[in-house]
Amino acid sequence: VSAPVVGVDVGGTKVLAGVVSPDGRVTRRALAGTPGRRVPASLVEDALVAVVGEVADGLTPAAVGVAAAGFVDAGGERVMFAPHLPWAGEEVRSVLARRLGCAVVLENDATCAAVAEAEHGVARGARSAVVVTLGTGIGGAVLLEGRAWRGAHGMAGEFGHMQVVPDGRPCECGRVGCWEQYCSGHALVRYVQDRLAESTSPLAVTGRQDPGRITGPAVTAAAAAGDPLALAAFASVGSWLGLGLANLVAALDPDLLVVGGGVSDAGDLLLAPARARLAASLAGGDRTTREGAPVRAVPALLAAGLGPEAGLVGAAVLARRV
Ligand SMILES: [Zn+2]
């Protein structure tokens, strides 16, 4: 029995570990709740060590990759800031390497998800890609030749806090008008909540009875069933998605755009309005020559292929490289 390579995704609500095979399959899993934000950082590390021990089944792992929902420094040593975790500059990588007794790689979760798509998912073989992960907020990464561009300080790909509306909605980051305030799971739910009183759709009736039942998956299910309010929410979020992607395409001209995260489970309910707004927002994107050919190529926009385990799979891919 060879020592396993383990990926761990440390999110705001759960810590998910998996043994990942060289071809990207998750063969064993373990899950724990995230202890919270206002707790000692060591409690999150305890939870992580426990789930790794559970999946490794008594073996010391060959290497462990950690995908953290936060800003990871350029050296991959510390989590500088994480809105839902207690880490604020802690030397997470070296602490975990000591406790786990093996090599540990630390990387931002959206970057890990993008690496997984490049290695085993829909971005395989693409020379360049922009990957956007729509969850509670927006995570992202820029892939070049299958590798994530980390930026000078490790902060590349934080697309969620690009300002798209001057004087717009306040954001958790302390600024206003950030893209994720209009394009995220949170934005999808809020779109519905803001219209419960005025809409006669079945989803609005449900929401007036019990606002707690308006969740991202509930809006997705309602949209798939043709609920007008849910479809309008996806039209809005999809349109904002296309607008932000057009800005990224203007800056980077990638081969491919990939959208993952829970909101992308809606497929074309999200991607169709996004593709339309992308083409219309990109200079030349909606123009054709006299012969009818497009003036400029609009990159393909695809749903991510690896689902909610992409973060831990990508973390394991990075761990396997050390
Ligand atoms: Zn922000």
CA-closest candidate to residue 309, choices 148, 56, 120: 120
Residue 208 pLDDT: 96
Phi, psi of 183 (to 5 degrees): -140, 90
Ligand 1 centre from 149 Cα, in Å? Answer: 21
Integer Cα distance of 119 and 62 in angstroms: 20
Ligand 1 centre from 156 Cα, in Å? Answer: 15
Residues in contact with 232: Cβ distance below 8 Å, sequence separation at least 6, in sequence order: 191, 195
Ligand 1 centre from 186 Cα, in Å? Answer: 13
CA-closest candidate to residue 216, choices 195, 239, 237, 198: 237
Beta-bridge mates of residue 163: 178
In this structure, is the dihedral angle defined by the CA atoms of residues 171, 176, 179 and 183, taken in order, positive or negative? Answer: positive
Ligand 1 centre from 179 Cα, in Å? Answer: 7
Ligand 1 centre from 223 Cα, in Å? Answer: 27
Structure tokens belonging to residue 24: 């990207």
Ligand 1 centre from 3 Cα, in Å? Answer: 41
Ligand 1 centre from 176 Cα, in Å? Answer: 6
3-state secondary structure 174-230: CCECEHHHCCCHHHHHHHHHCCCCCCCCHHHHHHHHCHHHCCHHHHHHHHHCCCHHH
What confidence tens digit (pLDDT) does each residue in 156-210 have? 999 999 999 999 999 988 999 999 999 999 999 999 999 999 999 999 999 999 9
Ligand 1 centre from 177 Cα, in Å? Answer: 7
Ligand 1 centre from 155 Cα, in Å? Answer: 14
Contact 209, 245 (CB under 8 A): no
Ligand 1 centre from 41 Cα, in Å? Answer: 24
CA-closest candidate to residue 241, choices 269, 214, 274, 264: 274
Q: Where are the beta strands (DSSP E) in the chain?
A: 5-10, 14-20, 26-33, 63-68, 71-72, 79-81, 103-108, 128-134, 138-144, 147-148, 256-260, 300-303
pLDDT tens, per residue, the chain with 322 residues: 789 999 999 988 899 999 999 999 999 999 999 988 889 999 999 999 999 999 999 899 999 999 999 899 999 999 998 878 899 999 999 999 999 999 999 999 999 999 999 999 999 999 999 999 998 889 999 999 878 999 998 889 999 999 999 999 999 889 999 999 999 999 999 999 999 999 999 999 999 999 999 999 999 999 999 999 999 999 999 999 999 999 999 999 999 999 998 899 899 999 999 999 999 999 887 788 999 888 888 999 999 999 889 999 999 999 999 9
Ligand 1 centre from 129 Cα, in Å? Answer: 23
Q: How many CB atoms lie within 10 A of CB 105?
A: 23
CA-closest candidate to residue 252, choices 141, 138, 139: 141
What is the separation, in whole angstroms, between the first and last Cα of the chain?
A: 20
Contact 82, 90 (CB under 8 A): no
Residue 38 DSSP symbol? S
Ligand 1 centre from 158 Cα, in Å? Answer: 9
Predicted TM-score (pTM) of this structure: 0.89
Structure tokens belonging to residue 265: 């489970």
Ligand 1 centre from 226 Cα, in Å? Answer: 32
Q: How far is CA 272 from the centre of its chain?
A: 19
